Amino acid sequence: MIRPLIDAHVHLNTNSIGKMEKALEHGVSFLSINTDIPFFDSIVDQEKVLKELDQKYPGKIRYITSFSADGWGEPGWAEKAIQEIERGLANGAVGVKIWKNIGMDLQDKDGRFIMIDDESLSPIFRYLEDNNILLIGHQGEPKNCWLPLEEMTVDSDRNYFSGHPEYHMYLHPECPSYEAQMEARDRILERYPKLQFVGLHLLSMEWSIDEVAKRLDKYPNLITDLAERICHLQLQAKDRWEDVRDFMIKYQDKIIYGTDVIDDGSFGNDELAQRFEHLWKFHWEFFATDKELEAPEFSGKFKGLNLPEEVLQKVFYSNAAKVYGF
């Protein structure tokens, strides 16, 4: 592993210190992403935890703020959301997140799903673009979300959606399609070309490096991260090793490393620290070596990408340092 390294997609929602001590041991810093998730604490309370950790471990954490969809449709909702964003930025956030609840959960009184490109969100996007504020987005879900469990390509998706049937779109044909989610996101990128945007989770197009590449080519201010989607790269590397390696090299300036580990108290202190360490080392082996590897998410072997040192430096550190202000 390189030192320093940035794990640029985590959710540090407890003030346990084991993870921080492990990060110090390996020269790792974190980007923690506060999110408007029903089973998370409030955005303000998430922020308080990070402030406590930052006092103990100064300079090791940056964070992203967000805004609540509560009250959508009421007069002044967009202005209230912008005020939430301003509060988070004033307290030290380095950007703003928009989550999949917009597109997959939020509905008007007639049951119409509110997509990311809905006109009601335009004041927020204009505010972010006009003020050069970074937006990071999780739109839609892996394409597996729209398949039955037995047809999903990796066990991590199968396990997540069996545990979160409310987000398993195969069970909800009344909801917008996968294609509709991706098209709405793309329309935002076209509508606001100066918007600095990090499309999380390989743009929710993890199934195809070709589809990700099309967007990275088309939208000059678009960046992506690898959080919780590295197994999909590994799956493609089974049969398209050279293509996956070429993808990482070609887009080395537009890809950021992250694990998406959720620190919500469900792991013990030591168990969480070991989880981080295991992922950092396993992912490093895939990107940095040519070892023959296996992943727990699917059957079969694949070879590490053995990327050049300058690519590893960008993906694991300098891209995140530049984008998120480390």
pLDDT of residue 294 exceeding 90: yes
Q: Which of the four pLDDT bands, split at 50, 70 and 90, describes residue 175?
A: very high
Give which of 188, 179, 313, 171 is closest to 255, Cα–Cα: 313
pLDDT of residue 247 exceeding 90: yes
Q: Which of the four pLDDT bands, split at 50, 70 and 90, describes residue 166?
A: confident
pLDDT confidence of residue 222? 98
Give which of 125, 141, 143, 142 is closest to 133, Cα–Cα: 125
Domain boundaries, the chain: 5-324
Peptide bond before 4: cis, by omega within 30 degrees of 0? yes
How far is it, in rounded angstroms, from Cα 70 to Cα 289? 46
For 305-315, write each residue's pLDDT tens digit: 999 999 999 99
pLDDT of residue 14 exceeding 90: yes
Q: DSSP per residue over 194-245, as a string?
A: T--EEETGGGG-TT-HHHHHHHHHH-TTEEEE-TTTHHHHHHHHHH-HHHHH
pLDDT of residue 167 exceeding 90: no
For 177-232, write each residue's pLDDT tens digit: 999 999 999 999 999 999 999 999 999 999 999 999 999 999 999 999 999 999 99
With 0.85 as the threshold, say if the pTM is over it.
yes
The percentage of the chain sitting over the pLDDT mark of 70, rounded to a whole number, equals: 100
Tell me what the pLDDT averaged over the chain comes to: 97
How far is it, in rounded angstroms, from Cα 162 to Cα 148? 10
pLDDT confidence of residue 164? 87
pLDDT confidence of residue 38? 87
Superfamily of domain 5-324: Metal-dependent hydrolases (3.20.20.140)
Q: Which of the four pLDDT bands, split at 50, 70 and 90, describes residue 39?
A: confident
Residue with tokens 């202005």: 79
For 251-260, write each residue's pLDDT tens digit: 999 999 999 9
Give which of 238, 234, 270 is closest to 155, Cα–Cα: 234
pLDDT of residue 6 exceeding 90: yes
